[in-house]
Copies of this chain bind each other. A is one copy, B any other.
């Protein structure tokens, strides 16, 4: 049975998720959070140490997952022959295998971590991820067309891809749909990147 204590904690947690998702850490108002959770400001501090603590309780595991992902980033595409494929549908199938394990990490807490961490000790998370991804795109450029004249696109691609994943999660609540769209998103990037690299 769920005790009342847990019910309120849950209510605060959920209300905080909504508030942080909508406004980010700094703009989020504890007064707003507790009001929507049906309790009082003083009582909030019986459940969480402070504003950052409830934020941390939301994003912490997403952060840990992200750190893992970054640590293993050299394994992201092991089979190099992937890039030789020309049939998009085959590509899609191969990508799915590659991407599926990462999908469960891409959730609302992940979105809050990326978009709403300013002002917290997680503020560096977004930049860390972007740095790795930029480097990753850079490696593709080096490999496929070292003479590509716009390497600044690596950074743009990194930010854009992360932002795209964030948008997919925010706009779609169903897990199946999210999964599908994430595959499409990454396929889209793979095709686009190869495309602009080819010609020069």
Contacts and interface: CB of A to CB of B under 8 A. Distances in A.
B164 A88 contact: no
Interface string A171-192: 1100001001100110111011
Interface of A: 26-27, 87-89, 92, 149-150, 152-153, 155-157, 159-160, 163-164, 167-168, 171-172, 177, 180-181, 184-185, 187-189, 191-193, 195-196, 198-200
A92 to B, nearest CB: 7
Contact of A195 (B150, B185, B192): B192
Contacts of A200: 89
A188 B155 CA distance: 14
A116 to B, nearest CB: 12
